[in-house]
Amino acid sequence: MKAHKTSLVNAILLIVLPLWGYFSSDSPSMTALIPTFIGVALLLLNKGVKNENKIVAHIAVLLTLVVLIGLIKPLTGALGRSDTAAMIRVFVMILSTIIAMVFFVKSFIDARKKRMESAKN
């Protein structure tokens, strides 16, 4: 799978899952929507990632890393509340974000190898 596809799936999950949690909560908090905003940003950046725009890809990686770090607190909160639905939502977002990060790093390594090979020729 390519980085832009995993980033697209991650963006969609980051949009949908927090909205689900927000609207199903008895006491919704606007901070629960932060992953949604980052997901929208990643969705907007996806075309640039697909076109292998280095700057856009690096911005997308940075946002992906920020959301990964930012999801730690909601996971601990869900664990503390023993809220199974929230734990599943946050865990799925963390997992999709980690997978997106792995594919971003792989694409950067592949691009570097490609540049090195073309420089040798």
Question: What pLDDT is attached to residue 81?
Answer: 93
Q: How far apart are the first and last CA of the chain?
A: 28
Confidence of residue 115 (pLDDT cuts 50, 70, 90): confident
Q: What is the pLDDT of residues 23-80, one digit of tens each?
A: 998 888 899 999 999 999 999 999 999 998 999 999 999 999 999 999 999 999 999 9
H or E stretch covering 78: helix 72-81
pLDDT of residue 121 exceeding 80: no
**Domain of residue 56, residue span:** 3-120
CB 97 within 8 A of CB 64: yes
Q: Mean pLDDT, to the nearest integer, of 11-22? A: 97
Number of structural domains found in the chain: 1
| pTM for the whole structure | 0.91
Q: Round the average pLDDT of the chain to a whole number and report it.
A: 94
